[in-house]
């Protein structure tokens, strides 16, 4: 059993949890994820690692309630336990395989969409520990949905909050902000790392293709085991089938078939379709929980 | 003198069982088991034993069944196998022990598998204690994977007095026994769980949710956690796809995904949250046991099930018994047919599968006649779900994260025949991780041999 040792609300329907999982905490690296199964009847849900503390043996996850499993998770309190918590899964961020000297020469901007701020944080934090200050664009629908901004400011270079409704920071989409930074303010970026809803990552990639900036995205397809044994999370990258759980979750965004990935994410979504197509009406909305 | 026929075993009615996940074969009653056991000739040179990969003393345990000494029969099998209730159910006995039974020459071979199953079930139902071990020697051995090879290796080492820990990536132990083989062939709650419990009763520790290669490495286990030897029994769980157009459409699954959702995650059961999508007409591509398991699962979930296989019926790699059961349950066999493309609607959902008819040519390297496409014979099957059951290969995760561990071009771990020793000192491997996808009993044999080799290495 994996004990919840901290729980905090970050925004409406978004909360943070520190989970006691010493083995995972010891091995976790930025870019990786975990799978949690709350109880006997639960499904396995992938969630990205937002932080980890090897000394305390804890792993931080940030969750948004979007389906019945995450709603159920919201009812768990400090002192409660999850039955299963496995990881770290997937590859660490590509950044970690580069030499620090190379990294220091690079100007990197992270684009965090909504809950995507959580998995961006450990990467920016790791870069900061190597002496690299990356910029971060944080996108949210409105002010109250901007999460982890203060924490991020401690480890990032410039932080640019954006809200759809203009209630805080820049008014507009993250793509518009990036365009403004590059085209109007003359910022030069060598690398974009975009993590958020697939639709956002898709549009970021469309823009950075025009801007000719290499872009890494963290894909969030439906997963079951997370260890490469089922292929439920498969994607087409550069014309080849890849398993996001073992080959990713990070890929070159300009090579990802987003249309296919977004379509596959909806596989279990429609309750109406579920009757017609013989889909067991389960939760099934958790594929994109990142 | 007419020879006695094999005692028939009761089965659920095909029409009823096609609507539930309860076990198809009901097994022998005590009287039936005793009656079947009396047919055994108790050969001086029992050929059946030579074809059992773990060399169970078959006449020995059958003699006890005949005399109604069931506890004694349990103890005889326990010396060789930790999973009798599993093997009695899923071994291909017709090509192993039963294939060499003398009675089989002129009549029915002894139902060794059904008798083994009876003994395994008796042991569980009557809580026979088989937890005897040698005194603890304090030496730690790590076993990676809790499938048949890992459970066997762990059990044997624990009996020899070792302090064994099994590391399992999933949340439940059993490997293919829990995620792959369906409930209707192998009950999980009773049979599999109990045989895993038996291994734990020998003092074996089980750590689930540990992915060796990610959560911890083999090097760390040996250097930081003081494991004196490691056995890798991580199986061959990586699914293959055909590489044809449309394979990533919504409604195309690997058999592993489909079966994992249903068996491990219990998607078929009320209250369990994992969803499953089965459609109304399902094509399972492939002809092995996994294909039969998938199509029979689809039928039970309410779909019309088709097996699409490129050779003919006599080449089907699945057990004859499973093919027979599948047909009884209404599965349609589309033989000498090969898919060339999966067709989707504008929303990306599967609406059909374009196939081509095949004919058999000359035998290939495997000795089976090679299927050749018949030009111009393309046609479309209307299906809304396709399950790919083309086989699996070993997961590359452990070799990728274990420096110095050699693999061959089939991605299988290279291990010494007979001992399972890998290219790394004190690291052994066995089962599907070494052989590629094979059978439960062969994995157990490999686990057994590695346990013996590890014991010899650590007592030197």
Contact B395 A227 (CB under 8 A): yes
pTM of the predicted model as reported, rounded to 2 decimal places: 0.94
Quick one: average pLDDT of B73-83?
Answer: 93
Contact B171 A83 (CB under 8 A): yes
pLDDT at A280: 57
pLDDT tens-digit profile of A31-84?
Answer: 999 999 999 999 999 999 999 999 999 999 999 998 888 999 999 999 999 999
What pLDDT band is residue B82 in, cutting at 50, 70 and 90? confident
Nearest-Cα distance to chain B for A39, in Å, is: 10
Question: Residue B262's closest chain A neighbor by CA?
Answer: A280
Contact B171 A37 (CB under 8 A): yes
- Residues from chain A contacting residue B280 (CB–CB below 8 Å): 277-278
Quick one: average pLDDT of B94-118?
Answer: 95
- Residues from chain B contacting residue A42 (CB–CB below 8 Å): 273
Which residues have a Cβ under 8 Å from the Cβ of B184 and sit 6 or more positions away?
A: B17, B20, B21, B22, B23, B24, B296, B300
Nearest-Cα distance to chain B for A271, in Å, is: 11
* CA A42 to chain CA centroid, nearest Å: 22
pLDDT at B460: 83
Contact B397 A44 (CB under 8 A): no
pLDDT at A12: 93
pLDDT tens-digit profile of B228-262?
Answer: 999 999 999 999 999 999 999 999 999 999 999 99
Nearest-Cα distance to chain A for B390, in Å, is: 13
pLDDT at A79: 97
What pLDDT band is residue B1 in, cutting at 50, 70 and 90? very low
Is the sign of the CA dihedral B200, B203, B204, B207 positive or negative? Answer: positive
The yes-or-no verdict on residue B181 having pLDDT over 70 is yes
pLDDT at A80: 97
> If you average pLDDT over every residue of chain B, what do you get?
95
pLDDT at B296: 98
Given CB atoms, is B245 within the 8 Å cutoff of chain A? no
Nearest-Cα distance to chain B for A186, in Å, is: 41
Nearest to A41 among B272, B276, B348 (CB): B272
Nearest-Cα distance to chain A for B256, in Å, is: 5
Nearest to A231 among B211, B254, B261 (CB): B254
Of B402, B390, B399, the residue nearest B434 (C-alpha): B399
Q: What percent of chain B has pLDDT over 70?
A: 99
Quick one: average pLDDT of B320-349?
Answer: 96
Question: Residue B298's closest chain A neighbor by CA?
Answer: A278
- Residues from chain B contacting residue A71 (CB–CB below 8 Å): none
Contact A263 B348 (CB under 8 A): yes
Question: Residue A242's closest chain B neighbor by CA?
Answer: B248
pLDDT tens-digit profile of B375-396?
Answer: 999 999 999 999 999 999 999 8
Contact A264 B250 (CB under 8 A): yes
pLDDT by residue for chain A (290 residues), tens digit each?
Answer: 999 999 999 999 999 999 999 999 999 999 999 999 999 999 999 999 999 999 999 999 999 998 888 999 999 999 999 999 999 999 999 999 999 999 999 999 999 999 999 999 999 999 999 999 999 999 999 999 999 999 999 999 999 999 999 999 999 999 999 999 999 999 999 999 999 999 999 999 999 999 999 999 999 999 999 999 999 999 999 999 999 999 999 999 999 999 999 999 988 875 444 444 555 555 544 444 33
Q: ipTM above 0.95?
A: no
Residues 250-279 of B with CB under 8 A from A: 250-251, 253-254, 256-257, 260-261, 265-268, 271-279
Nearest-Cα distance to chain A for B443, in Å, is: 18
């Amino acid at each position: 059993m994996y004990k919840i040792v901290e729980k905090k609300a970050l925004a409406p329907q978004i909360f943070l949890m520190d989970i006691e999982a010493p083995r995972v905490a010891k091995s976790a690296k930025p870019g990786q994820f975990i799978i949690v199964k709350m109880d006997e009847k639960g499904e396995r849900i992938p969630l990205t690692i937002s932080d980890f503390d090897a000394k305390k043996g804890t792993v931080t996850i940030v969750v948004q309630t979007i389906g019945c499993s995450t709603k159920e998770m919201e009812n768990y309190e400090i002192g409660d336990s999850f039955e299963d918590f496995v990881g770290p899964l997937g590859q660490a961020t590509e950044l970690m395989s580069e030499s620090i000297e190379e990294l220091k020469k690079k100007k990197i901007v992270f684009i965090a969409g909504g809950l995507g701020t959580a998995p961006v944080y450990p990467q920016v934090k790791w870069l900061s520990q190597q002496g690299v200050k990356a910029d971060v664009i944080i996108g949210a629908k409105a002010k109250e949905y901007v999460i982890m901004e203060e924490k991020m400011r401690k480890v990032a270079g410039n932080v640019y909050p954006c809200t759809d409704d203009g209630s805080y920071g820049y008014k507009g989409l993250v793509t518009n902000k990036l365009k403004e930074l590059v085209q109007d303010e003359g910022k030069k970026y060598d690398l974009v790392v975009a993590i958020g809803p697939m639709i956002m990552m898709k549009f970021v990639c469309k823009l950075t293709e025009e801007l000719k900036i290499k872009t890494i995205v963290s894909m969030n397809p439906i997963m079951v085991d997370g260890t490469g044994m089922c292929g439920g999370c498969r994607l087409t990258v550069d014309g080849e089938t890849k398993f996001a759980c073992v080959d990713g979750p990070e890929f070159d965004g300009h090579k990802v078939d987003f249309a296919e990935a977004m379509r596959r994410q909806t596989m279990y979504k429609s309750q109406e379709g579920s009757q017609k197509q013989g889909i067991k009406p389960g939760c099934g909305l958790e594929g994109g929980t990142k | 003198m007419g020879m006695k026929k094999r005692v028939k075993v009761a089965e659920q009615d095909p029409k009823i069982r096609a609507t539930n996940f309860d076990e198809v074969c009901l097994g022998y009653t005590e009287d039936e088991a005793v009656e079947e056991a009396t047919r055994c000739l108790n050969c001086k040179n029992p050929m059946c034993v030579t074809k059992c990969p773990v060399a169970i003393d078959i006449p020995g345990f059958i003699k006890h069944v005949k005399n109604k000494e069931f506890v004694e029969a349990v103890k005889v099998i326990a010396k060789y196998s930790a999973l009798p209730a599993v093997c009695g159910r899923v071994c291909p006995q017709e090509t192993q022990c039963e294939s060499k039974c003398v009675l089989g020459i002129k009549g029915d071979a002894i139902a060794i598998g059904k008798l083994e199953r009876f003994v395994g079930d008796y042991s569980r139902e009557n809580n026979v204690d088989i937890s005897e071990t040698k005194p603890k020697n304090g030496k730690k051995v790590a076993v990676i994977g809790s499938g048949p090879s890992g459970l066997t290796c762990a059990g044997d080492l624990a009996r020899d007095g070792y302090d064994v820990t099994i590391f399992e990536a999933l949340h439940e132990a059993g490997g293919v026994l829990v995620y792959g083989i369906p409930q209707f062939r192998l009950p999980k709650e009773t049979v599999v769980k109990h045989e895993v419990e038996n291994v734990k009763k020998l003092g074996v520790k089980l750590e689930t949710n540990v992915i060796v290669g990610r959560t911890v490495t083999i090097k760390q286990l040996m250097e930081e956690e003081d494991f004196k030897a490691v056995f890798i029994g991580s199986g061959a769980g990586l699914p293959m796809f055909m590489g044809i157009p449309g394979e990533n459409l919504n409604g195309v699954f690997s058999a592993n995904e489909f079966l994992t959702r249903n068996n491990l995650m219990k998607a078929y059961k009320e209250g369990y949250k994992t969803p499953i999508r089965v459609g109304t007409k399902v094509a399972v591509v492939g002809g092995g046991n996994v294909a039969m398991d998938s199509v029979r699962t689809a039928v039970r979930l309410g779909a019309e099930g088709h097996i699409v296989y490129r050779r003919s019926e006599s080449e089907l790699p699945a057990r004859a018994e499973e093919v027979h059961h599948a047909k009884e349950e209404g599965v349609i066999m589309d033989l000498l047919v090969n898919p060339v493309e999966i067709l989707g609607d504008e929303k990306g959902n599967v609406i059909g599968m374009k196939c081509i008819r095949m004919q058999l040519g000359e035998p290939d390297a495997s000795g089976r006649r090679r299927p050749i496409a018949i030009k111009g014979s393309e046609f479309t099957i209307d299906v809304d779900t396709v399950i790919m059951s083309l086989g699996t290969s070993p997961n590359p995760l452990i070799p990728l994260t274990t420096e110095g561990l050699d693999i061959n071009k089939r991605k299988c771990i290279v291990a010494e025949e007979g001992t399972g020793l890998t290219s790394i000192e004190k690291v052994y491997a066995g089962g599907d991780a070494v052989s590629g996808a094979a059978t439960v009993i062969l994995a157990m044999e490999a686990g057994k041999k590695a346990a013996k080799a590890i014991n010899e290495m650590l007592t030197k």
